[in-house]
Amino acid sequence: MNEKTLQMRLGLGACLMALFLVFVAIPNWVAAPSNVPNIILSPLFWPYTLSAFTGLVGLGLIATSMRLPVTDETLNDPIDDLGPARMRMIGIAVIMLVSMFLFPRLGMVWTCMLAFLATAFLVKTRHPVTAVICAILIPLILYAFFAHVAGVAVPQGNFVRLP
């Protein structure tokens, strides 16, 4: 499969998923009270927002694929040694299991920081400094928003509590 075909298929898949979410999944499976005072606190707001972003990314992928030239080269050559791929799969499974163990002890924010870092280094990111900065800032910013702006209780751990 060449890059143009891959981009087109991913874009179409993202658009179809966004349409499925907007017209089937969210209306049928997300319950929301009618008297929510702030739209950001509505259980419908974030699923619709993520669906819209998914659709926009899909449209961007389709537009990108239309600009690419048609080539005969394939993106991925067959791999003979599957050992590293298997080790990454085992590694991500271990990260998930350790995360579930750490959630009640460290809380959601600190566990997400550690899981993000571990995953970034498991896949050998080309941008380790950016990964470390994002691993620290994104959970803290989300915590600050949900705990202090939206008034939603974020699970805290037994050992470390955030203000």
Per the model's pLDDT, the better-predicted residue between 48 and 162 turns out to be 48
The average pLDDT across 99-124 equals: 94
pLDDT score recorded for residue 73: 76
Model confidence at 127, pLDDT cuts 50, 70, 90, reads: very high
The model carries a pTM of: 0.66
Instruction: DSSP for 126-146, please give it.
Output: S-HHHHHHHHHHHHHHHHHII
pLDDT score recorded for residue 36: 80
Per the model's pLDDT, the better-predicted residue between 20 and 82 turns out to be 20
**74 has a pLDDT exceeding 80:** no
Q: How many CB atoms neighbour CB 33 within 10 A?
A: 8
pLDDT score recorded for residue 43: 87
pLDDT score recorded for residue 161: 76
How far is Cα 56 from Cα 60, in angstroms, rounded to an integer?
6
Model confidence at 18, pLDDT cuts 50, 70, 90, reads: very high
CB 12 within 8 A of CB 58: yes
pLDDT score recorded for residue 162: 79
The phi, psi pair for 26, rounded to 5°, reads: -65, -50
